[in-house]
Structure 1
């Protein structure tokens, strides 16, 4: 991290970062480490979670624009979390919290079942080389973990600028019995709650189509 990021981590992490018990890996979460969102945020409010928040552009904009909603950013790269905290502090986004951990473990071990109103996965690593595609986040196993974390009627929002990953996401979610499409046609319209970042502009500039998808969690039986 840069000197400013190191300083931000030291000064701002106690306010923004959720301290979690670790399992074997540095970014793991010990099973049975569930938090109480009302205690963490100090209120009962809708909860939106972003997986792979990067430098935090999308979630800081959303949190500062919607003070009545609680937000959680999940990221494994500490430099990105430090930048997120700096921007959140400047924007006065006191409704944002961060966790440095692997996203599936956050959904499985840290967040209570049926506690999340929306789950965002915007531009995850496409692992575009064929030998690496098995590392992609959005799989049937991920869909099952997401279904557990989301409330009935909660929404999973996806976006990518890699066409084959977009198709894979759609295929995975079509086969996920706990979800139904929250759009009609081939692709969802661009989610207007997602701020246009430099990353998205770059993808469009080099000719990549930005694909959005949205799925609603079916009511539990």
Structure 2
């Protein structure tokens, strides 16, 4: 079998298997950083990678292209937050949003990355969540909370507030379609009002915090970017 259906539940695992086989067959000819990028920075057909300099990015991009082409993978739709790296590739290899820009005057676009918005110009992950009205019930609350897709967990502290409200409703034995009590409805309304404030920045440097209580427990590592 040489072709897999797009969207098949088995397709991601087959793609990852083929990526790793490509690494194994060509490991002796490429730098370990290139091999490690394929192992740890690909999520199905997306590759997200941050490096300290434009020169290192240019080297990595061309090495990745050469390596994965040997496995039948032609990498394209590239985008970077550095024009020097962008111009190191042919225009036909750029993502569609770059081709219509004037690089001297226009800001770099926002792109989808792992289900989130990446503001390329500012180098930020952002969340633009448009919530449709739902009934004030357990079912409605869960529907909206589940709508916040965040693979990397950046919205965790914010979404946690809504999950705690859902937990209260479960403890009070409210049914899926029972109207929630006024005190929880008020807190839910405040949560919805603040949903547009979610905006997160990713960078280097780590600050670690640990939280534990009767209600929740967890650990958070905050990332800061120093330029």
The structure with higher relative contact order (CA 8 Å, sep 6+) is: 1
* Structure showing greater Rg: 2
Q: Which one has a larger percent strand, Structure 1 or Structure 2?
A: 1
Tell whether the structures are fold-level matches, with TM greater than 0.5.
no
